[in-house]
């Protein structure tokens, strides 16, 4: 998608503080961290949100969760929260599927 912020980051047109990259996935630190550790995992190929996950594109979602397990393990993080906001009311500000991975402080439940 030409005008999508995270597509631009995935293409390297906008810089990011990268944690991991392969052909399909990118992990980078959130520009406005909400926890001592806060990074995002995105598929490079544009998927708008969790609501757009289908049988055609869901393999990359499974790979994103494998990557989250690998990166948190490498960072020595044993307790963390994974969040994906879907739609405006849920707080999604960037319409490109992403998983927030946050750690380093206690989190309350239910989420606000
Ligand atoms: P959401 O509001 O759930 O769609 O999450 C979007 C996230 O992207 C927010 O936590 C923002 O702080 C983060 N964000 C926006 N622009 C950038 C950027 N250029 N680099 C890293 N993170 C960003």
- What residues pair up with 75 in beta bridges, in sequence order? none
State residue 112's pLDDT score: 84
Residue 81 three-state SS: strand
Ligand 1 neighbour 94 (Cβ under 6 A) = yes
Does the active-site annotation cover 38?
Answer: no
State residue 15's pLDDT score: 98
- Whether 98 has a pLDDT exceeding 90, the answer reads yes
- Whether 81 has a pLDDT exceeding 90, the answer reads yes
Band the pLDDT of 1: cuts 50, 70, 90: confident
Going from the Cα of 26 to the center of ligand 1, the distance in angstroms, rounded, reads 13
Q: Which two tokens stand for residue 97?
A: 């599927």
The 8-class DSSP code of residue 10 comes to H
- Whether 45 has a pLDDT exceeding 90, the answer reads yes
Q: What percentage of the chain carries pLDDT values higher than 70?
A: 100
State residue 5's pLDDT score: 98
The pTM for the full model equals 0.98
Going from the Cα of 14 to the center of ligand 1, the distance in angstroms, rounded, reads 13
State residue 79's pLDDT score: 98
């Amino acid at each position: 998608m030409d005008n999508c912020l995270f597509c631009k980051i995935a293409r390297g047109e906008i810089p990011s503080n990268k944690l991991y990259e392969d052909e399909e996935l990118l992990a980078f630190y959130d520009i406005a961290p909400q926890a001592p550790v806060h990074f995002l995992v995105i598929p490079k190929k544009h998927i708008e949100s969790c609501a757009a996950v289908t049988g055609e594109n869901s393999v990359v979602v499974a790979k994103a969760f494998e990557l989250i397990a690998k990166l948190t393990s490498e960072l020595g993080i044993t307790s963390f929260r994974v969040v994906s906001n879907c739609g405006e009311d849920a707080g999604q500000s960037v319409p490109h599927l992403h998983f927030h991975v946050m750690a380093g402080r206690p989190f309350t439940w239910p989420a606000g």
